[in-house]
Amino acid sequence: MVAGPAPESPRAAPRGPIFYGWYIVGTVFLINTVSCGLIFYNLSIFLKAFVTEGGFSVSATSNATALFFVSSGIAGLGVGWLLDRYDPRWIVSFGALLSGGILASAGHVGELWQLYVFYILFGIGNAAVAVIPGMTIVARWFTRQRSKAIAYASTGLSLGGIVFTPVSATLIERYGLAEAAYWLGLVLVLGIVPIALIMLRSSPEAIGSTPDGDPPRRTADGSLAPPDGISFEDAIRSRFFILCTAAFVFSMMAQVGSLAHQFRLVATRTGDDHVAALAVSIMAAASIAGRLIGGSLLSRVASKTYLLAIYVLQGVAFALFAFAETATALFIVSAIFGATVGNMQMMQPLILAEAFGLKAYARVLSLAQMITTSANAAGPALLGFLYVTTGGYQTAYLTITLSSLFGFMSLYAAGPVKALLDAQDKSIQS
């Protein structure tokens, strides 16, 4: 991993008793809040808006939404490569500018091909601004407190749903998609670009610091030790990477499908868009709570055991969604589902860092995200297809309950989390 020029700027030097890594956590938190709130959580609102205002079918819009995840996953490979070589401030700023510009054009989408292009470019922008840059940077700044730092930073992914979902739904309902999209795009750019340029730094080494602010690790000859971890080639060939990634493919495909359709499911069953927006906000609030609880529990519970429990809870939530009809029932199930959303989004970056270290982390995470995100595309499309063919969401949600089961089985079979790192340590000691 190339840490980047050092020092990058005297402005970023640590001040006082607070380790600068916590400023990085706060910055990534804010970027995640804005980007996820206006991109990821808006997917379900856009699905409904393109159906009602644009005249597109549910099936066509669901398929177009799937392209968002495919393009985001593929673009993530390039983002991982760039993060090892260039200043992340420019990568994140590019992603925000592209996403904001595409978002502002939503009201001008009138043809099916334009809908597809909209989601493809939106996905590329999302890859450059959201999970891969943020989690890679945070992981570089922490070792001992990595689980807590990632939990805090990734909480913004859920807070974005609380803050921006009701705002987006209200603006689109009151002013229409065309006018509302301009304002949403502007907020996305202004909420990310300035703070990214001012605050983000690629690694502690870039400003003359070290992970956690600890004394630097040195080799026997006194030189600085390289980042810990496994090579990219060894990591991606390992049993743990293959089966752990498969587990996230199954579980995240179901999760993303549910997220894309949740707003419409609640609106259809209750007949009220405001109730649907509140259900999404409740889900996001539960996601924050679950993530913060998870960040604390992971210092005492093995990551694999914790993740297996989350898969079980996710399956229960999907089964309950199939039968929930009243607003109260839908709110309760949304809270259960939200607890799994926050933890699942946090756990992939965390468990990969724990398993393979930082040596090739950006590339390992980007590949896992590409595979997972591309597979996620099947989630919204599958739910849309099942909704149309069965005349409702009950069969659709019962079907994706099986995905949680398959995810549980794959992760269980993956083996010990730190098998490669432990083997490497034994080899070095011998």
Contact 87, 202 (CB under 8 A): yes
Q: What DSSP string describes 253-281? A: HHHHHHHHHHHHHHHHHHS-HHHHHHHHH
Does the pLDDT value for residue 426 go beyond 70?
no
Helix (H, G, I), strand (E, B) or coil at 202: coil
pLDDT at 5: 41
| Rounded distance between C-alpha atoms, residue 159 and residue 342, angstroms | 10
Does the pLDDT value for residue 201 go beyond 60?
yes
Q: Which of 109-113, 190-194, 201-205, 217-221 has the lowest mean pLDDT?
A: 217-221
| Rounded distance between C-alpha atoms, residue 96 and residue 75, angstroms | 14
* Model confidence, pTM: 0.75
pLDDT at 1: 42
pLDDT at 382: 80
Contact 49, 177 (CB under 8 A): yes
pLDDT at 425: 56
| Rounded distance between C-alpha atoms, residue 260 and residue 42, angstroms | 8
pLDDT at 41: 79
Q: Which of 43-47, 224-228, 254-258 has the lowest mean pLDDT?
A: 224-228
| Rounded distance between C-alpha atoms, residue 315 and residue 320, angstroms | 9
pLDDT at 221: 56
* Of 216 and 211, more confident: 211
pLDDT at 92: 96
pLDDT at 218: 57
pLDDT category of residue 2 using cuts at 50, 70 and 90: very low
Closest CA to 283 of 46, 69, 41: 41
Average pLDDT over residues 233-246: 93
pLDDT digits (tens, 9 = 90+) for 336-375: 999 998 788 788 888 998 888 888 888 898 899 888 877 7
Average pLDDT over residues 394-410: 91
pLDDT category of residue 9 using cuts at 50, 70 and 90: very low
Task: Name, in order, each residue with C-beta under 8 angstroms of 103's C-beta and a sequence gap of 6 or more.
Answer: 38, 39, 42, 122, 181, 184, 185, 188
pLDDT digits (tens, 9 = 90+) for 257-302: 888 788 888 998 888 888 998 998 888 788 888 888 887 888 788 8
pLDDT digits (tens, 9 = 90+) for 133-174: 998 899 889 887 887 888 888 888 878 877 888 888 889 888
Task: Name, in order, each residue with C-beta under 8 angstroms of 352's C-beta and a sequence gap of 6 or more.
Answer: 241, 244, 361, 364, 365, 368
Does the pLDDT value for residue 118 go beyond 90?
yes
Helix (H, G, I), strand (E, B) or coil at 144: coil
| Rounded distance between C-alpha atoms, residue 285 and residue 267, angstroms | 19
| Rounded distance between C-alpha atoms, residue 14 and residue 298, angstroms | 28
Contact 344, 372 (CB under 8 A): no
Q: Which of 100-104, 111-115, 215-219, 378-382 has the lowest mean pLDDT?
A: 215-219
Angle, alpha carbons 86-87-89 (nearest 5°): 140
Contact 278, 331 (CB under 8 A): yes
* Burial category of 328 from C-beta neighbours within 10 Å (exposed 0-12, middle 13-18, buried 19 and up): exposed
pLDDT at 243: 95
Closest CA to 283 of 37, 76, 59, 78: 37
pLDDT at 14: 45
pLDDT at 12: 45
pLDDT digits (tens, 9 = 90+) for 292-325: 888 788 878 888 999 999 999 999 999 999 999 8
Closest CA to 180 of 2, 38, 339, 367: 38
In the block, residue with structure tokens 């499309």: 381
What's the whole-number average pLDDT of the chain? 84
